[in-house]
Structure 1
Amino acid sequence: MASTADHRPAADASSPAPLDKRLITSWSLWSWGNATVSAVMVTFVFGTYIASEAFGPDERGTQYLTTANAIAGLIVAVTAPIIGQRADRAGKRRLWLIINTAIIVALVAACFFVRPEEGFLLLGVTLMASMTLFDEFANLNYNAMIVDITDHSRMGRVSGIGWGAGYLGGIVLLMLVYLGLITGDPPHVFGIGEDDAMNIRVVALVAAAWFLLWALPLLLTRQKTADQDTVPAERISVVESYRRLFGTLIGLWKEDRNTFWFLLASAVYRDGLSAVFTYGAILGTTLYGINPADVIIFGIAGNLVAALGAFIGGWLDDRIGPRKVIAGCLIGLLGSSLALLMLTEERVIGAAADPLLTITPTAAFWVLGLFLCLFVGPAQASSRGFLGRLAPPEKAGELFGLYATAGRSVSFLTPALISLMLLFLDSNMAIVVAIIVTLLFGLGLLVLVRNPTEPAKMRDWSQKS
């Protein structure tokens, strides 16, 4: 049986072997194309379309979509580690990436058939939630591949490059569909009108083709992955897979508290990071006076800044360690959020009669909101790099599955805090306060974590006598 060292760069070699730049480029291009799901379909275009009044009164579209996404999130939380574990065991991590990518492309393209009528609402939310579900499964295997393309000493920069590519891909695609299909008077640049929401539905076809085009270089590569060196010793049932999963969790608690605490801490602060993008547009328009028409412009600027942050953070990660990068980003996010909290009303610096500077809420949001985006990118990229350093190559899929499940298991945290804060605050300031509390809690848990120095001890304690 071949050793994983045959194709994975050595972690402690005094002069590390050159990285396969072609493979890293292909891996990053998949992320560039995958921005289709988050930037275009979920956040700025198709999710907004489903939530519109075209699909029924009383915000019915939003209600159906959030319910469907909650169901998809529950499925991910329950199944992600098992899917990763079984992909590792079968040595088919890349095969499942191919399958899940193909399913996502098909689901995105099928959104073209969602016409702006109430009768199509169920089809729309089913396609959107299914897309989110399979995107989680695809990213599980995609993230696990980081152990195949770089060594520990350069994992930060590679993760940063991949994450930054995703942000940049989102910008380019968002500008393409915005300028070509959404803004201006119909027919738009591509000659497509707005009757029957045809211009929005065509966005789905463009987005599907975009993802397929940029995913192909990685999907067609012949590079072997670490799990392919693991010959399955046995075929096990799904029930046995869950038994071994719980055994692994017990093993982490007993033998590897660092990995255990990182999974928990990252789950908490990543919920806060997600909230920055999830609620950013709501905050900008309702609390800080951003024109709704400018939200997509802010989204483009925010993604550009987040990409820059991911690139810089990846470079720092390899020099000072991922824990310091993550902690620094969380502190920066907390500082920016606190400043935003104090600038919901116009502030004057200097004498009232002769002010040196007048800061409006809108200007504050443009500056501090972009600072938030700057810190989100490297925090996400370094978290993946942190876990990549912990992941045993033959069990990377299972560990990244646990990472996904941990995140889903606390994804209620910020929304629940917002609901609680609204009992005491009569405005969307509750969102800012909830994000601050979540990030502060995550930073506190990160104190229990130290930089990874060895692979996670993923021994199955359920097999011990």
Structure 2
Amino acid sequence: MNAEAGRSTAAGRPKKSRAGIFSWMLFDWAAQPFFTVIITFIFGPYFVSRLAQDAATGQAAWGYTITVSGIIVAVLAPMLGSVADATGTRKPWIAVFALIKIITLMLLWFASPGSDLWLPAMCIVLATVAAEFSIVFNDSMMPRLVPEAEIGRISNLGWGLGYLGGLVVLFTVLLFLSGSPTDGKTLLGLEPWFGLDASQGEDARITGPFSALWYLIFILPMFLFTPDGGKGLPLKKAVKSGLVELKNTLVELKQRAGVLRFFIARMIYQDGVNGLLALGGTFAAGMFGWQTMEMGIYGILLLIVAIGGCLVASWLDAHLGSKRLVLLSLICLVTACVGIISTGPGYTLFGWVQLAPQDSGTLFGTAAEKAYILFGLLIGIAFGPVQASSRSYLARSVSPEEAGRYFGIYALSGRVTSFLAPMSVATLTLYTDSARIGMSALIVFLLVGLLMLWVTPYPATRR
């Protein structure tokens, strides 16, 4: 690690209370259900398969929705990170974006079947942007909050705690809120709470207000117990100073070739990861006709595996290092992506393996659905560690004083071209009228990012 990054001294990373660290980790618990039940497993598939007029149109519209939010985050995140360094404090920024996220999630309740797509699409864009900006500020607290030796462990444990939060929300939706469109009963055979009507899409629409309430409650400990940065410049001066710092940081990256290479590699593979998380569930919903119940149970299986993956990764990161763990995770994701794309009714691995076409009439009743779930579990194992250890990779490569601006560029590297993956999937889907061909674009992003990271130093400040 170079001299600048070496400023991460005991003074730079003061020992914090367990309550402060746990409350910082609890942010992941609060934030993850949005990505779990809104983007991936419940509302996203509802948008594609039940709100839109057909699955291909729905996947394209959803892909472009994710694209717009990615462009906004890519443009603004680095500037906001630099401004945060100048102001010193992160919590006021998180509070503003939390308000935006909560309001837009509440509005998803009005996305009833037959309504226009523009309102839920706009709400998803604003909620995603607010969520991603909040993550920038929360992540940038880590180098100052957590001892360097503990960064990888705490990062993965926080991510695992987030998946546990997503799992709890998903269980609650399926067991008590979401009825089947066929008989109106929940997974427990009960009448849905509040008389929710699945035929009106209320089984999926309720995830918006529920996620908003969950987020509101569980970010409060972070505001109460996690120490913030010291007071810096007033906002107007901080904006000017932050823009200058951002410019200087971008120039400085030319001399920090390892960090620059890490950002480029992460930019590419994170595009594939984002696309897989945003579109993998909608792809299954369109191919197998899965409704909220099937998607929810599929999500539960993935999250259980993901929690275990993060717990194991918290140990592996300390013993193997963040880079090796990210590489192993990317190999798993490439394998899983090939597997789900190659699976269809009656076959897997592009027809090399034929499967019985009969449907038993039970949950996931065809062999193809079971094969899809097996490949999906491989995604569950890897998609937590690939993101948590990427976060710790950077945190080990920068000092606490520069964390805000570098985590802003980190968000940029995860979003600057993030429109390319969903746009590639959406455009290929429309051009070929095949969701399967469209999804194949994700493999390219994952592979190219993997190869670039392979030749990147670790920590990234090494030559």
Q: Does TM, scored on the shorter chain, surpass 0.5?
A: yes
Kindly report which structure 2 residues correspond to 1:10-409, keeping only aligned pairs within 5 A, or say none. Answer: 20-51=17-48, 66-116=63-113, 118=115, 121-184=117-180, 185-186=183-184, 188-194=191-197, 197-221=201-225, 223-225=226-228, 227-228=229-230, 231-232=232-233, 236=237, 238=239, 241-253=242-254, 255-284=255-284, 291-292=290-291, 294-338=294-338, 341=342, 343-345=349-351, 347=353, 360-409=367-416
Q: CA 1:171 to 1:154, structure 2 compared with 1: closer, same or farther past 3 Å?
A: same
- Residue 154 of structure 2 contacts residue 314 of structure 2 at CA under 8 Å; is this kept in 1? yes
Contact 1:192 1:199 in 2 (8 A): no
Whether the 8 Å contact between 1:110 and 1:127 is mirrored in structure 2 is yes
- Name whichever of 398-407 and 102-111 sits farther off: 102-111
Quick check: 2:49–2:286 contact (8 Å CA) kept in 1? no
**AA in 1 matched with 2:256:** D
Asked whether the 8 Å contact 2:32–2:166 carries over to 1, the reply is yes
Cα separation, 2, equivalents of 1:404 and 1:83: 10
Residue 111 of structure 1 and its aligned partner are, at CA, apart by: 2.9
**For each residue in 1:218-241, what CA deviation from the matched residue of structure 2 results, as whole angstroms up to 9, or x when unmatched?**
1222x433x416x44995475764
**In the alignment, is the contact (CA less than 8 A) between 1:84 and 1:141 conserved in 2?**
yes
Deviation at 1:4, TM superposition (A): 8.2
Between the aligned partners of 1:427 and 1:200, the Cα distance in structure 2 is 25
Write the letter of the residue equivalent to 2:152.
Answer: G
Question: Could you tell me how far apart the structure 1 residues matched to 2:318 and 2:331 are?
Answer: 20
The equivalent residue for 1:463 is: none
Which deviates more, 372-381 or 340-349? 340-349
* SS of residue matched to 1:438: helix
Specify whether residues 372 and 69 from structure 1 end up closer, same or farther in structure 2 by C-alpha distance, changes over 3 A only. Answer: closer
The alpha carbon displacement at 1:34 in A equals 0.9
Give the residue type in structure 2 aligned to 1:245.
L
Structure 1 stretch 395-404 or stretch 277-286: which is displaced more? 277-286
User: Structure 1 residues 162, 427: CA separation in 2 closer, same or farther (over 3 Å shift)?
Assistant: same
Structure 1 length-normalised TM: 0.81
Residues 202-254 of structure 1 deviation map (CA, whole Å, 9 limit, x = unaligned): 43332221111111111222x433x416x44995475764454233212111x
Tell me which moved more, 50-59 or 441-450. Answer: 50-59
Instruction: Describe the superposition over 1:159-214 as per-residue Cα deviations: whole angstroms up to 9, x where unpaired.
Output: 00111111111111011112212124447331413275555444333222111111
Letter in 1 for 2:230: Q
Shift of 1:56: 6.6
Match of 2:3 in 1: none
Distance 1:37 1:302, change over 3 A: same
Give 1:61 shift. Answer: 6.6
- Tell me how large the CA RMSD over aligned residues is: 3.5
Aligned CA distance change for structure 1 residues 280 and 294 (closer, same or farther; 3 Å): same
Q: Contact conserved, 2:271 with 2:421, CA < 8 A, in 1? A: yes
Measured at CA, do residues 4 and 363 of structure 1 come closer, stay the same or move farther in structure 2, by a change above 3 Å? Answer: closer
Q: Cα distance, 1:81 vs. partner? A: 0.7
Shift of 1:426: 8.3
Is residue 8–residue 399 contact of structure 2 (8 Å, CA) maintained in 1? no
Q: Which amino acid aligns with 2:270?
A: R
Of 293-302 and 407-416, deviating more is 407-416
Runs (5+) with no aligned partner, structure 1? 11-16, 350-358, 457-465
CA contact (8 A) 2:13 2:147 kept: yes
Q: Output the CA distance in 2 between the equivalents of 1:58 and 1:372.
A: 23
Find the counterpart in structure 2 of residue 435 from structure 1. 442
CA contact (8 A) 2:41 2:281 kept: no
Match of 2:219, SS? helix
**Would you say how many aligned residue pairs link Structure 1 and Structure 2?**
432
- Helix, strand or coil for the counterpart of 2:164? helix
* 1:6-47 CA-partner distances (Å, limit 9, x unpaired): 76546xxxxxx6x63222221222211212321122233333
How big is the shift at 1:107?
2.4
Judging changes above 3 Å, is the alpha-carbon distance between structure 1 residues 259 and 125 closer, same or farther for their aligned structure 2 residues? same
Matched residue, 1:462: none
Q: CA deviation at 1:378?
A: 0.9
Q: CA deviation at 1:314?
A: 2.0
| Distance in 1 between residues matched to 2:369 and 2:206, nearest whole Å | 33
In 1: Cα distance, 2:445 partner to 2:44 partner: 25
Instruction: Give, in whole Å, the separation in 1 of the partners of 2:101 and 2:429.
Output: 36
TM-score (norm 2): 0.81
Distance between the aligned counterparts of 1:71 and 1:453, measured in 2?
A: 30
Q: What CA distance in whole angstroms lies between the structure 1 residues aligned with 2:127 and 2:235?
A: 32
Q: Higher mean Cα deviation, 314-323 or 334-343?
A: 334-343
Q: In the alignment, is the contact (CA less than 8 A) between 1:391 and 1:455 conserved in 2?
A: no
Residue matched to 2:188: none
Q: Which amino acid aligns with 1:376?
A: F
Question: What is the identity percentage for the equivalent residue pairs of Structure 1 and Structure 2?
Answer: 28
Structure 2 CA distance for partners of 1:280 and 1:98, relative to 1, 3 Å: same
* Cα deviation, residue 141, structure 1: 0.5
CA distance in structure 1 between the aligned counterparts of 2:269 and 2:455, rounded to whole angstroms: 14
| C-alpha contact (below 8 Å) 1:159/1:314 kept by paired residues | yes
